[in-house]
Amino acid sequence: MNPIPLFHIGDFLLVSIPEDLSDSMVTRLQDSLSRKVIKLQIKGVLLDLSSVTIVDSFIGRMLGNMASITAMLGAEAIIVGIQPAIAITMIELGLGLNNIKTALNVDQGVIMLQILAADKAIDYVSKQ
């Protein structure tokens, strides 16, 4: 199976999660994403779920892990584009995306990343 493409936009990476994921695709994505964040000195990652038709407990856990790993590497992670049916199903299943930043769509996610990156820069300068 083809790897999931990672689009590089400025300091950010956009990951467009495909419709139906196999477990091994998710595991490989976790690996390639973290390596790319370091190699390209990425400041923010957008995980776009707008095409996704299913988030079960395995995928939900992996999304949470990807956000935490990205944060550990010093970048911000935002999940965008969750469809209403997915949100309702995840909550009924018992999967809340706690401590994970979300935005409505890619555009809003980019704005959020820019604000977060700017805040970080101001924070950094003010401590010098």
Partner 1 sequence: MSVSSKVLPMRTEEDLMIVRQTVKAWMIEQEFSLLEQTKLVTAISEIGRNALVYGGGGSALLEQLLENCRVGIRVTIEDQGPGIADIEQALQDAYSTGNGLGFGLSGAKRLVMDFDICSKPGQGTRIKMTVWN
Q: Which is nearer to partner 1, 75 or 82 (CB)?
A: 82
Q: Which of 7, 36, 8, 12 lies closest to 115, judged by CA?
A: 12
Q: Pick the closer one to partner 1 by CB: 29 or 113.
A: 29
Please report, as ranges, the residues that interact with partner 1 according to CB under 8 A. 20, 22-24, 53-58, 61, 83-86, 88-89, 92-95
- Between 48 and 76, name the residue whose CB sits nearer to partner 1: 48
Q: For residue 54, how far is the Cα from the chain centroid?
A: 16
Q: How far is the CB of 59 from partner 1 (least distance, A)?
A: 8
Buried b vs exposed e over 20-30: b needs ≥16 C-beta within 10 Å? Answer: ebeeebbeebb
Nearer to partner 1, 72 or 91 (CB): 91
In angstroms, what is the minimal distance from the CB of 48 to partner 1? Answer: 18
Query: Roughly how many angstroms between the first and final C-alpha of the chain, as a whole number?
Result: 48
Minimum gap (Å) between residue 83 Cβ and partner 1: 8
Q: At closest approach, how far in Å is the CB of 5 from partner 1?
A: 19
